[in-house]
Each structure stands twice: as structure tokens, then as C-alpha cells.
């Protein structure tokens, strides 16, 4: 019996040390979990701020784009600087092309910031392409779109518009709003 008591006495400090180590490990894990959760929350906030900043930058860029186009539309001399169309354009036609560019770019920015789905973009462009001047503009700027990186949003949307325009021109119906299959997200 005395041996049993002495063994129990010797195990007591070992057991206490074991419990202490286990408790310390649990406290450390809880602290790490709390730290990871705080870092995750912080990262989400930073990502949200970056997204907001990107949208602000796009909006600012769109505003600058419109200001430049407005100056060119109002001034034939300035519009000559932007005359990079594939076919010669009269001053009136150039102004129309610049305005068509503004309309298309507006849709592009709306899509980029998430105000339009791809399907909505398709529908709006399908309506825009009903105008013969917009169609002429689209053909006159083919070379510019060909210089875009193949994997960019703008190049992808441009190919989609090219395909839609081709379908519209081949369609044998007056109901243009049903021509082409809107893309899925």
C-alpha cells in the first residue's frame, strides 16, 4: 500500500505537468484561432476597400474619357486627333463615331463595375447596333480592337459584339431583339 501511495505521489506532479501542457496548448490554439479570425476579417476589409477604389478609379477614368470625347465632338480640330478610323470620315461622321464610342464605352464601364450583367450588356449592344452609324463605327474601329490582348475583358466583349453584328446582318427577320443567344454568366 505504501508503494502504491508513493507511485501516486510521483504521478501527481507528472499529471499536473501534463494537464498544464494541455491547458497551455488549448490557450495557444484559441489565441491563434482568434488571431487568424482577426486577420481574415482585416483581409476582407482590405479587399472591399480595393474593390471600392477600383470602381472609383473606373468611374474617374470614364469621366475623363467623356470629357476628352466631348472636347473632340465640339471641336473639329481636336476630333482630327482622334481620327484613327479605318476609313476616311467627314467631320460630321467623325463626331458621330466619337459619340458612338462614348455610348459603347459607357456600356463597357457599366459592365466592368458590375452595374450590368453580361446578358444585359448583350441586350443593350443589340439595341445600339440597330443604328447604322453605330454599325459603321464598329467596322471602322476593327483594327483598334484587333490590338487588344486576347484575354482581356474588352477583347472578349468585342468578339461577342462582332458575332452579334454578324448574326444581325444575316437575320432574315424584323424582330432584331430575338437575334443571337444572350451569353450566360
CA separation, residue 136 to residues 7, 34, 88, 111, 178 (Å): 97, 61, 12, 23, 22
Question: Bigger pLDDT: 5 or 87?
Answer: 87
Q: Record the pTM.
A: 0.66
DSSP state of 113: T
Q: Which three cell numbers stand for residue 168?
A: 444581325
pLDDT higher than 80, residue 179 = no
User: pLDDT digits over 14-61, tens only?
Assistant: 667 777 777 777 778 777 777 767 766 776 777 776 677 877 877 777
Could you tell me the pLDDT band of residue 174, with boundaries at 50, 70 and 90?
Answer: confident
Number of H helices, E strands in the chain: 7, 0
Instruction: Check residue 63 and give its pLDDT.
Output: 80
* CA atoms of 37 and 13, how far apart (whole Å): 36
How much of the chain exceeds pLDDT 90, in percent?
Answer: 32
Instruction: Check residue 39 and give its pLDDT.
Output: 62
Instruction: Check residue 165 and give its pLDDT.
Output: 92
User: pLDDT digits over 149-170, tens only?
Assistant: 999 989 999 999 999 999 888 8
Amino acid at each position: 500500500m505504501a508503494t502504491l501511495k508513493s507511485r501516486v505521489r510521483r504521478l501527481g506532479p507528472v499529471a499536473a505537468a501534463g494537464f498544464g501542457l494541455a491547458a497551455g496548448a488549448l490557450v495557444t490554439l484559441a489565441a491563434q484561432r482568434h488571431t487568424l479570425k482577426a486577420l481574415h476579417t482585416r483581409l476582407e476589409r482590405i479587399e472591399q476597400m480595393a474593390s471600392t477604389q477600383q470602381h472609383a478609379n473606373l468611374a474617374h477614368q470614364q469621366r475623363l474619357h467623356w470629357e476628352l470625347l466631348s472636347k473632340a465632338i465640339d471641336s473639329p480640330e481636336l476630333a482630327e486627333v482622334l481620327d484613327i478610323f479605318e476609313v476616311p470620315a467627314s467631320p460630321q461622321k467623325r463626331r458621330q463615331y466619337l459619340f458612338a464610342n462614348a455610348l459603347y464605352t459607357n456600356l463597357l464601364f457599366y459592365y466592368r463595375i458590375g452595374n450590368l450583367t453580361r446578358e444585359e450588356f448583350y441586350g443593350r449592344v443589340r439595341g445600339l447596333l440597330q443604328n447604322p452609324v453605330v454599325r459603321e463605327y464598329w467596322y471602322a474601329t476593327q483594327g483598334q480592337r484587333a490590338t487588344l490582348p486576347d484575354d482581356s475583358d474588352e477583347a472578349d466583349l468585342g468578339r461577342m459584339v462582332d458575332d452579334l453584328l454578324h448574326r444581325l446582318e444575316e437575320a432574315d427577320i424584323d424582330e432584331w431583339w430575338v437575334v443571337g443567344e444572350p451569353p450566360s454568366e
